[in-house]
Amino acid sequence: MAREKETSNVLITGGTDGFGRAAAIRLAEQGYRVFAAGRSAERRAKLEAYAQQGSLPIETVEMDVCSESSVDRALAEVRAKAGPIDVLVNNAGIGIYAVVEEISLDDWRRQLETNFFAVVRLTQRVLPEMRARRRGRIIQMSSVAGRMCLPLMGAYCASKHALEGMSDALRLEVAGYGIHVVLIEPGYIPTNFQPVSRELSSDYAARAATSPYAHVYQAFKNARERSSRGNTYTAEDCARVVLRAVRDTPPRIRYRITKQAAYAEFARRIFSDRMVERRILSYMGLDKFRPASS
């Protein structure tokens, strides 16, 4: 593939931790001017100190992606300093895990607001200037969960499936304006995302033992523990793929990270929905709870 030479100003949401932080550093090392957005003043300060120590072109900006006014202030700050945004990396996200029957509507809204509507908000804000300049890249941090789902991940998967659908439509809409829309689909990679998700889901976990879905909660916990054992992928692996998505011309529509993500796509292409479902139930040890007639 050819390499993109023109892009320079990059805005990364959730850019001070996990995938976002790793991507900010990687892109800055390659000469991109990076604005890493985040809510935590402490994390912003740590990243700024790291950037100054290494003479990296990284600046941080305060942004709550769920707040219209916060997003507008942050974008105005970036534009005042650097001009138009060439690359938007929509990375900010959360995970709230509970069975569909028990997760509250407030948590459903919180999940979708952060992982989907916030992405739409940022995307709509940068599209006019990208269209006017007839260039730009919008990189969406999706997940293997945008293609395949596990129990307890209904809300999270719903947000990622929505992101995938919106991005596929958007790609077609902006095809004539020189704008590329790219989906990144990581599998399980340990970052601070997992402990934050456990905290966000802690009320449900605390009640899991008395839930009629207790066996499902336990199966999910066991599967997560298996995924974490022997996992050699890091946030830096994701950052390298983000760099490819920024530089490849043309970029792929989807970039998958980890064997888990590659297998999920392979399974979706080769096996029927019923076969995929049976494999998931078997992997999680939930097949023994399924009525023989189903």
Instruction: Give the residue numbers marked as catalytic.
Output: 156
> Radius of gyration (Cα) for the chain, nearest Å?
20
Nearest 5°: the CA angle 233, 168, 61 is: 60
- Packing angle, helices 18-29 and 235-247, rounded to 10: 50
Alpha-carbon gap, residue 291 to 164, rounded angstroms: 33
Length of the chain, please? Answer: 294
Burial of 184: CB neighbours in 10 Å, binned 0-12, 13-18, 19+: buried
Contacts of 58 (CB under 8 A, 6+ apart): 24, 25, 28, 34, 35, 36, 47, 48, 50, 51
Q: Coil, helix or strand for 142?
A: coil
Identify whether 250 is preceded by a cis peptide bond (ω within 30 of 0). Answer: yes
- Please choose, from the candidates 37, 253, 73, the residue with its C-alpha nearest in 3D space to the C-alpha of residue 47: 37
**Position 32, amino acid:** Y
